[in-house]
Amino acid sequence: MSVQPAQPLRLAIVIGSVRDGRFGPVVARWFAGHAESHGRFDVDVIDLAGTELPLALPAVPPAMDPEPARPAGLADVSRRLAEADAVVVVTPDYNRSFPASLKALIDWHYTEWRAKPVGFVGYSGASGGLLAIEQLKQVFGELHAHTVRDYVSFPRYYLLFDEDGNLKDPAEPGAAAEAMLDQLDWWGSVLRDARRDRPYATR
């Protein structure tokens, strides 16, 4: 009996920074290329720049409301996150934490993260985004997401990419990306089947 190839996973890559002059799109473009060449993912890059992300949440938090009243400007992003089987967050660290835009996106959603794998690509001057990544792991755990073990990190990113946005020495980051993508593939496939066959309950 022939084995049918598994359906590709829908991978949402979220660019977390909206700051002027941000480097996030360069890093996201590099990672999206790896995800596309991996062969197991349909890639959707979600850029938060230009997305309506109010910091003030409604009286009933989205986590408590089965049908949260989100701003109209979030409708497209909310749909794409809901359709994703896995998520990768591309983030710098600002003042030893992650951007406010990313926290707002997370807090405006709940079921969109639930029982899905989340990976991270970090970049910053010194830590390579690890300070943000460690905090984000705690946040996503609270939302019943599964954060994978491996990550990609770019300390002093401004020395690692050339003026065209290409890595000067791509071997080590490429291997890290492949390891994380393999983990997202495994967890994403298992959790997609589980959500279909046995809906995840948090209470």
What is d(CA 13, CA 86) in angstroms, rounded to the nearest whole number? 9
What CA dihedral angle connects 134, 33, 27 and 43, to 10 degrees? Answer: -60
CATH class of 9-197: alpha beta
Helices of type H across 70-203: 75-83, 100-107, 130-142, 171-197
148 in Cβ contact with 182 (< 8 Å) = no
* Annotated domain spans of the chain: 9-197
Q: What tens digit of pLDDT does each residue of 23-45 get?
A: 999 999 999 999 999 999 999 99
pLDDT digits (tens, 9 = 90+) for 80-128: 999 999 999 999 999 999 999 999 999 999 999 999 999 999 999 999 9
